[in-house]
């Protein structure tokens, strides 16, 4: 049963060299990172009688043992539930690259997700996460939020079960029918029950509010009076939530690829569908105009019709991949979306689409596997899918009324004819989560906070530019920095203007008076 048939796309800036950022990371044809699925078992919540003050008083013991060369690693204890610190505790995994000069302090970095590993982001892609000026002036600290990676983590399915959940074909292909909804509801319920069984009581407390309180704990135990923070994509929501909860502790926050915290699940799905539709149009125009080997010719609209027909055709007659898995419409949609995150991968998207039109699903599965963090041997690189679901199911309210979902699905499909049909009915998954008292979505103002920089890319498919405009407007001290270009997030992606503005603010505290409108 297909998770992607009834869920919203991940919005993550997750990195390796020439990244296509998403929930599985990696650009086209970049080798996957080392499989850690058989590494040391994940820590589990433990009981404690510790008060919140005692957590703040702990010492961080950095070590080079079992840590990659050039880095230091540490573990910090946090309450499982900040509203009841004595109920149990969890562990948060950190990695640090020491400043090459005299450090201003620690710069905490979050790559997005939700579910992205900041530990791996810094370990594997330090030069992508920050530039040389930031490495010189800050201790760069990557961390795995609660529920993620090396921290006390969410766990749901074994690899074989995850394969069926992610790639399995639905028995009922009539999307939106009663039988299809029943099948998706059963799949979502079983997944949520497995997450609760295998994760335990922590699952209830996988929320961005709880993670933001963890972030303040990290600030304090690292010895910083104020938070210095660089958050990408979902990391902007984590950073903005921190500013709302701890405005007096805001030092310098950069929120790149911003999420509008006031948007509903439906509004997010519709905006993302339109964003990827726009990125697809940009790819096709570039391909038709500039690539002599483009798989398409004529107009962009005609090419988009061809892609829609291709997605529909594999839904009706799936293609067998090299390992026996069947490529259906939802997996192909995932495979198309992944390389749209970065123009650097558009040429590979052209190759993949040409292959599928020739009946070859090999590269389509490659892209989908990168999205989902699946290794060639069928294991999974991390728990990003499970953590993604856990956070989103607790951070948004959901309504699985069939009439409401049908109306919204039609609106999304009309707004984005290629991708919209795959992004409807997204409330099913989380409306059947074990904990349904989800947060309301509201504007974040962070009254009293020092200036906060919000970076938005005009052609960002995953976090549309209007979200950055909205967040900068909502924040009492927000300042918008616009990058006029394509791709997801802007800092350290090739614009010297963006890099200069961000670096100057983080290092000196100087914020531009007006939007510099970088290109």
Tell me the domains of the chain and their CATH numbers.
Answer: 44-152+210-262+443-508 (3.40.50.1820)
pLDDT, tens only, 21-54? 322 222 222 223 333 333 444 566 665 567 899 9
Instruction: Read off the pLDDT band of 5 (50, 70, 90).
Output: very low
* Contact partners, residue 391, CB within 8 Å, separation at least 6: 113, 114, 115, 147, 206, 207, 208, 211, 234
**3-class DSSP string for 323-391:** CCCEECHHHHHHHHHHHHHCHHHHHHHHHHHHHHHCCCCHHHHHHHHHHHCECCCCCECCCHHHHHHHH
Ramachandran category for residue 456: left, alpha or beta (phi over 0 → left; psi -120 to 50 → alpha) = beta
Average pLDDT on 79-93 reads 97
The two structure tokens encoding residue 245: 């909860």
Measured between alpha carbons, how far is 185 from 359 in angstroms, rounded to an integer? 32
Is residue 282 predicted with pLDDT exceeding 80?
Answer: yes
Measured between alpha carbons, how far is 264 from 180 in angstroms, rounded to an integer? 24
Average pLDDT on 73-90 reads 97
Is residue 286 predicted with pLDDT exceeding 50?
Answer: yes
CA nearest to 417, candidates 268, 281, 319, 263:
281
pLDDT, tens only, 123-147? 999 999 999 999 999 999 999 999 9
- Contact between 405 and 425 (Cβ < 8 Å): yes
CA nearest to 296, candidates 352, 335, 363:
352
Average pLDDT on 53-67 reads 95
- Contact between 59 and 405 (Cβ < 8 Å): no
CA nearest to 310, candidates 285, 292, 327, 289:
327
Annotated active-site positions, please?
Answer: 233, 460, 488
Paired strand residues for 138: 105
CA nearest to 181, candidates 394, 393, 405:
405
């Amino acid at each position: 049963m297909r998770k992607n048939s009834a869920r919203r796309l991940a919005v993550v800036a997750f990195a390796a060299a020439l990244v296509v950022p998403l929930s599985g990371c990696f650009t086209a044809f970049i080798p996957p990172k080392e499989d850690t699925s058989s590494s040391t078992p994940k820590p589990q919540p433990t009981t404690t009688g510790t008060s919140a003050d005692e957590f703040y008083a702990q010492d961080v013991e950095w070590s080079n043992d079992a840590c990659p060369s050039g880095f230091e690693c540490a573990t910090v204890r946090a309450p499982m539930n900040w509203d009841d610190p004595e109920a149990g505790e969890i562990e948060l995994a950190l990695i640090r690259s020491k400043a090459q000069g005299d450090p201003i302090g620690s710069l905490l970095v979050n790559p997005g997700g939700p579910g992205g590993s900041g530990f791996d982001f810094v370990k594997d892609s330090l030069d992508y996460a920050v530039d040389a000026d930031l490495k010189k002036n800050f201790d760069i600290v990557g961390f795995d939020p609660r529920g993620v990676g090396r921290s006390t983590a969410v766990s749901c399915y074994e690899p074989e079960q995850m394969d069926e959940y992610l790639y399995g074909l639905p028995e009922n292909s009539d999307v939106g029918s009663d039988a299809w909804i029943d099948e998706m509801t059963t799949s979502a319920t079983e997944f949520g029950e497995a997450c609760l069984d295998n994760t335990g009581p922590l699952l209830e407390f996988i929320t961005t509010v709880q993670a933001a309180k963890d972030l303040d704990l990290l600030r304090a135990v690292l010895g910083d009076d104020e938070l210095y923070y660089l958050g990408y994509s979902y990391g902007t929501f984590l950073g903005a939530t921190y500013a709302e909860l701890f405005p007096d502790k805001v030092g310098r926050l950069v929120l790149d690829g911003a999420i509008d915290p006031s948007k509903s699940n439906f509004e997010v799905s519709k905006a993302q569908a339109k964003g990827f539709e726009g990125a697809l149009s940009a790819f096709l125009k570039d391909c038709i105009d500039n690539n002599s080997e483009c798989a398409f010719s004529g107009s962009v609209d005609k090419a988009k019709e061809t892609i829609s027909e291709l997605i529909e055709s594999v839904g009706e007659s799936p293609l067998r991949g090299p390992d026996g898995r069947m490529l259906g419409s939802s997996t192909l949609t995932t495979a198309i979306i992944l390389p749209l995150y970065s123009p650097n991968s558009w040429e590979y998207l052209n190759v993949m689409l040409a292959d599928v039109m020739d009946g070859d699903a090999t590269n389509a599965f490659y892209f989908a596997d990168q999205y989902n963090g699946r290794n060639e041997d069928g294991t999974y690189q991390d728990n990003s899918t499970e953590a993604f679901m856990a956070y989103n199911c607790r951070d948004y309210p959901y309504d699985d009324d069939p009439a409401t979902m049908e109306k919204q699905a039609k609106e999304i499909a009309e707004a984005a004819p290629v991708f919209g049909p795959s992004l409807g009915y997204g409330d099913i998954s989380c409306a059947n989560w074990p904990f349904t008292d989800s947060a309301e979505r509201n504007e974040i103002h962070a009254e009293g906070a020092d200036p906060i920089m919000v970076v938005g890319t005009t052609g960002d498919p995953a976090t549309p530019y209007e979200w950055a405009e909205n967040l900068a407007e909502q924040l009492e001290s927000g300042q918008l920095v616009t990058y006029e270009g394509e791709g997801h997030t802007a800092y350290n992606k090739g614009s010297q203007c963006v890099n200069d503005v961000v670096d100057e603010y983080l290092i000196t505290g100087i914020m531009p008076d007006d939007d510099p409108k970088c290109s």
